[in-house]
Amino acid sequence: MEIGFLAGFGPITRSGDEGLAFWSTAFGIRFDEMAPDYYHAHDLSGANVFGLWPLAQAAEATFGTPEWPTDRPVPQSWIEFEMASPDAVADGEAELAAGGHEILVGTHQEPWGQWSTRLQSPEGILVGLSYLADFHPERSGG
C-alpha cells in the first residue's frame, strides 16, 4: 500500500460548541463550519485538514446510524491517509483485510465525493484510507 500523504486528522467531538471553543480559544485556530457542527481549520501545515468531527457524524459515515455501536470503543480522534485513486483505496482495504484487520465500512463514495474505507486502530482511533479529487489537482489538470 502506498500512502500519498496525511489527508486529515482531528478530534472526534461530543459537543461541537465545546470542541470549537477549546481549539479556537486555547490554540487560536481559525475554523470554518463545513457542515453542521463539523469544522475545518485553515493554515495549519502537516495535514490537509484538521477537523472537528462530531461523533454522531462519524458514526453515520461509518455505520449508517448516528449512534456509535456500544460494542466498539468510542474513538477520541480520526486520521485519514490519502491514496492515489479510488482503486488505491480499494486495494488498500483489501490489503488491510488480508492482514486480518476488521474493516468497518468498505470502499465507497461519500455524498461529498470522497472515496473512503474505515477501520479502527487498537487504540480506538477511527482510521480511513481516502481519495478526494480536490487533493489531486494534477489529476484534473488544475
Q: What is the CATH number of the domain that holds 41?
A: 3.10.180.10
Counts of helices then strands in the chain (DSSP H, E): 5, 8
**Rounded average pLDDT over 101-120:** 94
Identify which of 129, 59, 136 has the alpha carbon closest to the alpha carbon of residue 94: 129
In a domain, 25, yes or no: yes
What's the pLDDT score for residue 26?
80
In a domain, 142, yes or no: no
**Rounded average pLDDT over 89-96:** 96
- Per the CB < 8 A criterion, the answer to whether 19 and 52 are in contact is yes
In a domain, 123, yes or no: yes
Q: How many domains does the chain have?
A: 1
In a domain, 77, yes or no: yes
In a domain, 52, yes or no: yes
Q: ∠ CA(1), CA(102), CA(113), 5° rounding? A: 60
All three cell numbers of 14: 461530543
Distances (CA, A) of 114 to 4, 24, 31, 59, 131: 15, 26, 21, 17, 6
End-to-end Cα separation, the chain, in angstroms: 26
Question: Does 45 score more than 80 pLDDT?
Answer: no
The dihedral built from the CA positions of residue 115, 79, 84 and 34, taken in this order, carries a sign that is positive
**Rounded average pLDDT over 20-24:** 86
Question: Does 68 score more than 90 pLDDT?
Answer: yes
User: Domain range spanning residue 112?
Assistant: 5-135
**Rounded average pLDDT over 17-22:** 83
pLDDT band at residue 142 using 50, 70 and 90 as cut-offs:
very low
In a domain, 127, yes or no: yes
In a domain, 36, yes or no: yes
**Rounded average pLDDT over 90-104:** 95
What's the pLDDT score for residue 141?
52
- Per the CB < 8 A criterion, the answer to whether 12 and 77 are in contact is yes
In a domain, 141, yes or no: no
Question: Does 90 score more than 90 pLDDT?
Answer: yes
Lowest mean pLDDT among 25-29, 34-38, 107-111: 34-38
